[in-house]
Amino acid sequence: MAIFIIRRLVISVLTLLAATFIVYVGTAVSGDPMQDLYGLQDAGDAERQMDERRRVLQLDTPIPLRYLSWLAGLLRGDLGQNIRGQDVSALLANAVAATLQMVIAATVLAIVFGIVTGIASALRQYSGFDYALTFAAFLFFSLPVFWVAVMLKQYVAIEFNNWLRDPVIPGPVILVASAINAVVWMAILGGDRQRRLTTLGVAFAAAAVSLEFLSATQWFADPGLGPVAVLVLAVGAAFGVTFLISGFRYRPPLVSALVAAAVGCGFYLVSEPVLADPSVWMIPLLAMATVATGLAIGYLLGGLQRRQAMVTATATGLLTGGVIMIDYLLQAYAGYAQRVRGRPISTVGSQTPNFQGDFWQAGLDSGGHLLLPTLALMLVSFAVYTRYTRASMLEVMNQDYIRTARAKGLTERTVVTKHGFRNALIPVTTLMAFDFGAVIGGAVITETIFGWQGMGFMFITGLNQVDPAPVMAFFLVAGGSVVVFNMLADIAYAYLDPRIRV
């Protein structure tokens, strides 16, 4: 395995070097770097600036030699200077953080939602839900990212911010939203006519009541969850997780999940001193504590279903932790709203300029700025993952070993989660590598539209100015991550699929 990894690493590095040569030469010949200097009024000054630029960009040496000198600089750890003489490494450091936030958020969300909907769609093949989702996936495939981004700017940002001034949900909207919610739940849960009608009614009523409540109390102006809502959500999470993992036939997993939820809520009630303004490392620390507690609860209360109980308790614990964090974020909104004059969803830049605030307010700020670009980037990736997972899951569910599992008497839940899901995921790992490259390309477009000073912006500016140094810096990070992801995908594939001999 180690030799395989090393061999792949070496080949990847060589491939990347060859690719850097292509990109460097392409950039250098793409235009005239002196373009903006031709129109200057003062002939003497123009001449001086042209000479200066010729020196900085080494325009007198042939292009391959320029590439070699860039490569030599790279091996020394120096990324060169851009056309204005600024150090590219410093520019890159600032830019990478912004872009990576966006790209990672979009990728993770697209993977999670895409795989879940793909599996649900495969299990309900040829149903209305499946057709609707297929059509939606095709639509998202065919949407141009830039068009979607501009529409999001208008409808999600500007209109939503306007609505927040008087956050009352009109009656017809409540009815339509509840109806949609009811139809979606009915499609997901399926079943015979009686069950479907019950799901329809319950989902409709629940959505209508909650939305009416939110509207009447003007919740959106001063949101927060409060202990009651946290408890309800935690218990709901416990039931949901148990339903997915072990079912309700045996008690212990459900009991452990509920105990974990109770512990989480108890922690919530006393968490004020710890979570009022936590430092960055407090959150991972708490996450680890949650996992440890969940495992302990499951182990102690699991009885005969110990392994499943540990999983359900841990998952419930983590979900409850998430709910608590959401509550803190929402409660910080009141203070944050004042600073942004009641318009939380921003369309420009990656953060509010000169922003000072505690951990939660900073989180809201990042989130508000991240929301639109991430949404725009996510749509296409989501469609690709859904289609791929659906196709893969369909193929797996038609295999003989699934039929054997059913014939053995396993519950449908076990057949799907333990046998189908894992095998369906194997081809999807190769997709993750390929998709990451597409997301980076999309990030270039979204950064241009939303005015983020990220890597993509650096790339476009560099390309327009025929300046190889920032373009190469961007490509090193982008191409390097694509290559790393490809390698990880190959390794994951070899690890997951026991038929592949490395």
Partner 1 sequence: MSTELERTESARASATAPAGVDGIAVVARTQGQMVRRRFFRHRAAIAGMLTLAFVILLAYTSIGFGPVTGWWDKTYVSTGPVIDGGRPTLGLVPNFLGGDGIRLGEHPFGQDNVGKDYFALVMRGTQRSLVIAFLIGIVVTVVGTLVGAIAGFFRGRVEGVLMRLTDTMIAIPTLIFAAVLAAVARGTGNIIVLGIVLGLVTWTNLARLVRGEFLSLREKEFVESARAVGTSPWRIIHKHILPNTVSVITVTATLTVAAGILLETALSFLGLGVQPPDVSLGSLVSQYQTAFQSRPWLFWWPGLFIVAIALSVNFIGDGLRDAFDPRQTRVRA
Is residue 98 within 8 Å of 452, Cβ to Cβ? yes
Q: Residue 101 Cβ, how far from partner 1 at the closest point, in Å? A: 18
Q: 453: which DSSP letter? A: -
Residue 89 to residue 74: CA distance in whole angstroms: 11
Q: What is the largest CA-CA distance in the chain?
A: 88
Q: Residue 433 Cβ, how far from partner 1 at the closest point, in Å? A: 10
The contacts of residue 7 (CB under 8 Å, 6+ apart) are none
Residue 5 to residue 14: CA distance in whole angstroms: 14
Nearer to partner 1, 331 or 430 (CB): 430
Burial of 302 (0-12, 13-18, 19+ CB in 10 A): buried
Nearer to partner 1, 174 or 482 (CB): 482
Nearer to partner 1, 252 or 442 (CB): 442
**Tokens linked to 6:** 């090393």
Q: Residue 397 Cβ, how far from partner 1 at the closest point, in Å? A: 13
Q: H or E stretch including 60? A: none
Nearest-CA neighbor of 391 among 431, 344, 352? 431
Nearer to partner 1, 151 or 232 (CB): 151
Nearer to partner 1, 364 or 471 (CB): 471
Nearest-CA neighbor of 417 among 432, 398, 395, 402? 402
Q: Residue 123 Cβ, how far from partner 1 at the closest point, in Å? A: 17
Residue 10 to residue 111: CA distance in whole angstroms: 29
The contacts of residue 465 (CB under 8 Å, 6+ apart) are 33, 36, 83
Residue 458 to residue 271: CA distance in whole angstroms: 43
Nearer to partner 1, 153 or 369 (CB): 153
Q: Residue 473 Cβ, how far from partner 1 at the closest point, in Å? A: 13
Interacting residue ranges for partner 1, rule: CB under 8 A? 15-16, 18-19, 22-23, 26-27, 29-31, 126, 138-139, 141-147, 150-151, 153-154, 158, 437-438, 440-442, 444-445, 448-449, 459-460, 463-464, 471, 474-475, 478-479, 482-483, 486
Q: Residue 16 Cβ, how far from partner 1 at the closest point, in Å? A: 6
Nearer to partner 1, 28 or 230 (CB): 28
Q: 156: which DSSP letter? A: I
Q: Residue 170 Cβ, how far from partner 1 at the closest point, in Å? A: 22
Nearer to partner 1, 324 or 428 (CB): 428
Q: Residue 298 Cβ, how far from partner 1 at the closest point, in Å? A: 42
Q: Residue 228 Cβ, how far from partner 1 at the closest point, in Å? A: 41
Q: Residue 246 Cβ, how far from partner 1 at the closest point, in Å? A: 34
Q: Phi-psi category of 77—alpha, beta or left, where left has phi over 0 and alpha has psi -120 to 50?
A: left
Residue 362 to residue 417: CA distance in whole angstroms: 38
Is residue 328 within 8 Å of 269, Cβ to Cβ? no
Is residue 376 within 8 Å of 382, Cβ to Cβ? no
Nearer to partner 1, 258 or 466 (CB): 466
Nearer to partner 1, 147 or 213 (CB): 147
Is residue 310 within 8 Å of 294, Cβ to Cβ? yes
Q: How far apart are the first and last CA of the chain?
A: 6
Angle at which helix 88-123 crosses helix 128-142, to 10 degrees, equals 160
